[in-house]
Amino acid sequence: MRRKIVAGNWKMNMLPDATMSVLEELQTLIEGATAEVVVCVPFTDLNYAYYATQEKKTVHIGAQNMHWEESGAYTGEISPSMLTAINCEYVIIGHSERRQYFAETDETVNKKIKAALAHNLKPIVCVGETLEQREAGETVNVITSQIHNAFEGLEAKDLDNIVVAYEPIWAIGTGKTATSEEANDAIKEIRNQIEKDFSTGDISILYGGSVKPENAKELFTTSDIDGGLVGGASLKADVFSKIVNYDKE
């Protein structure tokens, strides 16, 4: 079901003490927010994040990656049940940084989505094109095939538990945001592909890439953008809360 979501991706930042203080402050600043709020923290902060938020339950906690296998000889990896055992609710799958630096492919993304769903974890599935692909006019092809391959073998009912994030790689951490029109058009194409594959486009699709308080409202109030996946601007409670509260005066 489409709903407004503002998610933070802390990437490889934040020690446990800071995790708890940022989340404490954030909860006081987002009281009454209409969007669902998710914060995806490093594995080592998950437990702290859960305890810092479990009383108010206004912030949902997510991880940033996981393995698809249940257990075994995969040194350094984290399984879906390791995440659910510590009350993790969401997990980012296929972030471009993982595709770029850690050999994540559409195939591993697909396996991870299936494993996440089988464990009642909600995947936040990332797709997006490089600058080179955009300039070559390949954006629509790239993002629609990424989503088609990522969702292979899923059923329409699975879409309720999945969130998609369109993150053009050239806009991540660069300060260069896609215009609201560019982002909305790309997200429309992703939704059309999902509709083609599952006969419904009723799924939350977020925009990510240099989202900040100044551009959140314009992006999130377009026809097809259901919120944001926010990197750098999610690390400070006062800044991130302004993005969460994009619809307030």
Footprint of ligand 13P on this chain (CB under 6 A)? 9, 95, 167, 172-173, 208-211, 229-233
Nearer to ligand 13P, 173 or 195 (CB): 173
Exactly one of 97, 104, 129, 167 is catalytic; name it: 167
What is the rounded distance in angstroms from the CA atom of residue 112 to the CA atom of residue 138? 26
Structure tokens at 93: 């799958």
Closest approach, Cβ 67 to ligand 13P, in A, equals 20
What is the rounded distance in angstroms from the CA atom of residue 124 to the CA atom of residue 220? 17
Structure tokens at 115: 């494993």
Closest approach, Cβ 211 to ligand 13P, in A, equals 5
Identity of the amino acid at 245 = N
Task: Judge whether 119 counts as a catalytic residue.
Answer: no
Closest approach, Cβ 219 to ligand 13P, in A, equals 12
Per the CB < 8 A criterion, the answer to whether 93 and 134 are in contact is no
Helix-helix angle 237-244:213-220, to 10 degrees: 20
Exactly one of 60, 95, 97, 129 is catalytic; name it: 95
Nearer to ligand 13P, 95 or 242 (CB): 95
What is the rounded distance in angstroms from the CA atom of residue 105 to the CA atom of residue 96? 10
Task: Judge whether 148 counts as a catalytic residue.
Answer: no
Nearer to ligand 13P, 201 or 232 (CB): 232
* Residue with smallest beta-carbon separation from ligand 13P: 231
Structure tokens at 47: 């437990």
Per the CB < 8 A criterion, the answer to whether 123 and 117 are in contact is yes
Closest approach, Cβ 5 to ligand 13P, in A, equals 13
Nearer to ligand 13P, 227 or 231 (CB): 231
Q: Which sequence positions are flagged as catalytic?
A: 95, 167
